[in-house]
């Protein structure tokens, strides 16, 4: 197991919320190297931990794990029915035009099979995919954005931003000409109802870039 510090935001009998560092797998991957992941590290402390959702290895930020199968089912339903609020922060190439409030990227996405794990905009076979975004600041030749994925497709934020001409800085898969020490994408806010008590819960994590 690695020694990277992992911030714990909340832990109780139903769930654990923590920050995933960039570069660490969220859940187990292939082979021996794939055994070290955030789930495995937290399960060493809470043996009844269950996976609810995922973040890309290159993405940092908030994740929730369920404790026990009942909590996993309840949180899984909440994610599937879009009852979970997710907000990300990203730094993207170029200057995104400022506008009042939130704007939308509504483009269907599907697997780019010859180039897996890449995804692509696919008007014929892609699944409906919707991302809301808002400009937070212009930073030199880049723009800091708040992002809210309404749907939860694989690589959705990354592909949608490439599609509008503003790839995320440090995205080695979709924008290799924008090198950075890491992908500048962070899961900054997570809101949902507690699977046992139904109490509203909201967590925030400041982007480390």
The CATH code for residues 8-84+191-204 is 3.30.2350.10
Residue 29 scores a pLDDT above 80: yes
Domains 8-84+191-204 and 87-185 share a fold: yes
Question: Across residues 152-180, what is the average pLDDT?
Answer: 93
**Averaged confidence pLDDT in the chain:** 95
The pTM of this model reads: 0.94
- Tokens (6 digits) for 60: 């940092």
The answer to whether residues 121 and 130 touch, using CB atoms and an 8 Å cutoff, is: no
Fold entry, domain 87-185: Pseudouridine synthase (3.30.2350)
Tens digit of pLDDT for each residue in 120-153? 999 999 999 999 999 999 999 999 999 999 999 9
Tens digits of residue pLDDT in 97-110:
998 899 999 999 99
pLDDT at 2 over 60: no
| C-alpha dihedral sign at 88, 92, 96, 98 | positive
Active site positions, annotated? 56
Check residue 179 and give its pLDDT: 75
Alpha-carbon span 187 to 180, nearest angstrom: 18
**How many whole angstroms separate alpha carbon 137 and alpha carbon 146?**
10
Determine what percent of the chain is predicted with pLDDT higher than 90: 90
Which residue ranges make up each domain of the chain? 8-84+191-204, 87-185
């Amino acid at each position: 197991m690695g020694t990277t510090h992992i911030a714990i935001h909340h832990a109780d009998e139903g769930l654990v919320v923590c920050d995933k560092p960039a570069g660490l797998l969220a859940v187990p991957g292939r082979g021996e190297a794939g055994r070290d992941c955030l789930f495995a590290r937290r399960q060493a402390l809470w043996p009844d931990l269950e996976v609810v959702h995922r973040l890309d290895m290159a993405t940092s930020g908030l994740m929730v794990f369920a404790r026990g199968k009942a909590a996993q089912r309840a949180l899984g339903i909440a994610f599937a029915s879009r009852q979970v609020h997710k907000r990300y922060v990203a730094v993207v190439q170029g200057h995104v035009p400022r506008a009042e409030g939130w704007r939308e990227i509504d483009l269907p996405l599907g697997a780019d099979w010859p180039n897996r794990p890449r995804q692509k905009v696919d008007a014929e076979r892609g699944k409906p995919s919707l991302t809301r975004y808002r400009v937070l600041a212009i930073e030199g030749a880049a723009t800091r954005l708040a992002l809210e994925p309404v749907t939860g497709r694989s690589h959705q934020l990354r592909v949608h931003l490439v599609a509008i001409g503003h790839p995320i800085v440090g995205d080695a898969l979709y924008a290799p000409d924008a090198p950075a020490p890491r992908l500048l994408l962070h899961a900054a806010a997570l809101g949902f109802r507690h699977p046992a008590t139904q109490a509203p819960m909201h967590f925030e994590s400041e982007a480390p870039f």
